[in-house]
Structure formats: structure tokens, C-alpha cells
Chain A
Amino acid sequence: MDALFYLFAALTLLCGILVIANPFSNNPVTSAMFLVLTIVSMAGLFVLLHAFFLAAVQVLVYAGAVMVLFLFVIMLLDLKEEQRRSIPLFSAGLGLIAVVAIASVIIGRLWKGPFVNSVDQPTMEGATTVLGTKLFSDYVLPFEIVSLVLLVAMIGAILLSKKELK
């Protein structure tokens, strides 16, 4: 189990780095493909955390639907001219310094932090059933609101992609 964790974590982080800074190509399609790999290996981490339903949803919704939408849009736009521009080194260095500072603050806090940590009793057998029950009892109002959000997003996307924007 531990070896699997390190494998999936390394794969997730490596593909994540390749999404934002690929030394071989600046093409957004490559970035999107590596994001798909990141999401799939993160689904592996979800399986290790016994979140089987979320792992399936992650692969189906993210890798399946969202990334296909991304690839459609990237290929719809003609990005030949964009590829030739490289990342400006000065601002990249400054950004790297800032982000390393933020990450060291977060991780430094994590090493000290007292978390309630109950590794030994995985009492979440058949978690999908429990998840469904909770979703339609405690969380039924957020569930309905989310359906409204999806409707609004659909109307918005259709309106925005009309030819004549007023």
C-alpha cells in the first residue's frame, strides 16, 4: 500500500509539473494531456483513501467530460502563434520564489500540526451506499442548488457562445 502511495503521489506531482512547465513543448494540448494523467493518478490516490465512488467520478467527469471540453476549445482556437512565445525568465523566477515561500509556510505548518489521526479503523465499508444516503438526506438542499448552478452554467455557456454578443 505504501509503495502504491509513493508511486501515485510521484506520478501526480511529476505530471502536475509537466502541465505548467514542459521543457519539450509549449503547446496547450500537451499541458491538457498531462493534466489528464494527473487526474487519473489522483484517482489512484482516491482509491487508496477508500473513496471509490469519487475515484470513478474523478475519471468520468474530470478526465472524461471536462478535459474533452478543454481539448475541443484548444483545438477550436488557432494557437499557432501562441506556441512560439516562451515563459519570461525574470517573472518566472520571481513567481517561483513567491510560491516556494508559500509552500514552505504551508508544509512547515503541516509538520507541526496536531491532527486527529485515526488510521487503524477504516469503518467506511460500502461507502458509496452511505454517501448516497447522506446526499439525499442531509445534503438534499445543496444537491438541488447544485442542479440550479448547472442549469445557470448551461444557459450562460449557450448565451456566451452566440455569434452576436450584445
Chain B
Amino acid sequence: MSQVGLHHYLVVSALLFSIGLLGVIIRRNVLVIYLSLELMLNAANLALVAFSRFNNNLNGQLIVFFIITVAASEVAVGLALIVALYRKRQTTHVEDLATMRN
């Protein structure tokens, strides 16, 4: 293995993104799906910071700063939605929430 460079970070980022995507696909609990979404956002952040470092350009880090802020507000709204949903239906399991299917 050569010196750790941009490629190594990008591979880690791609693997982490795939793990998050797999979590969204296979898990059936809304909360865990939400956690996997956070994982995917973090993978994107890692790729941006790596690009920013290896191109000597700080714009990537600023975009990550904004992504973290927007992710925080997204979590606040999403969790409020999940709590409202749970109050109405008493479940967080996605297969119990398929009322539009039939």
C-alpha cells in the first residue's frame, strides 16, 4: 500500500455510503432508517472534506458546515414527524404504515 491519499478516503466514504444505503433498504424500523440516512450524510461529508484537503480548497469544508446545519434541522423535523406518526398509529414499523397500498 502506498501513502494514504485522496483515493483511500474516497473509498472509505463510498463504503460508508453503501452501508447507509443498505441500512435504508433492509431495516424496517423508521428510526433505524433515519440513523442510516445520517450515515449516508456523513459519508458525503467525508468525501467533501477529503477533496477540500487534497485540492487545497476550503470551499468543501464550508459546504460540510452547511450540510451539518441542515442535517440537524432535518433531524428535528423528521423526529417530530415520527413522534406524531407514533401517536396516531402506535408503530414505527414501515410495513404497518402501508395504508395507501390497498
Contacts and interface: CB of A to CB of B under 8 A. Distances in A.
B71 A149 contact: no
B76 A107 contact: no
A21 B1 CA distance: 30
10 contacts: A21-B22, A38-B39, A51-B49, A58-B45, A61-B72, A66-B72, A69-B76, A87-B26, A135-B65, A153-B73
Interface of B: 1, 3-12, 14-23, 25-29, 31-32, 34-36, 38-39, 42, 45-46, 49-50, 52-56, 58-59, 61-62, 64-66, 68-77, 79-84, 86, 91-93
Contacts of B52: 49, 51
Given A77-B92, A117-B5, A12 B62 contact: no
Interface of A: 1-2, 5-6, 9, 12-13, 16-17, 19-21, 28, 31-32, 35, 38-39, 42, 45-46, 49-51, 53-54, 57-58, 61-62, 65-66, 69-70, 73-74, 76-77, 79, 82, 85, 87-88, 91-92, 95-96, 98-100, 102-103, 106-107, 110-111, 113, 115-119, 121-124, 127, 130-131, 134-135, 139, 142, 146, 149-150, 152-154, 156-157, 160-161, 165
A103 B15 contact: yes
A15 B25 CA distance: 18
Task: Output the residue of B16, B36, B91 with the most chain A CB within 10 A.
Answer: B16
A61 B64 CA distance: 13
Contacts of A119: 3, 5-6, 54
A149 B39 contact: no
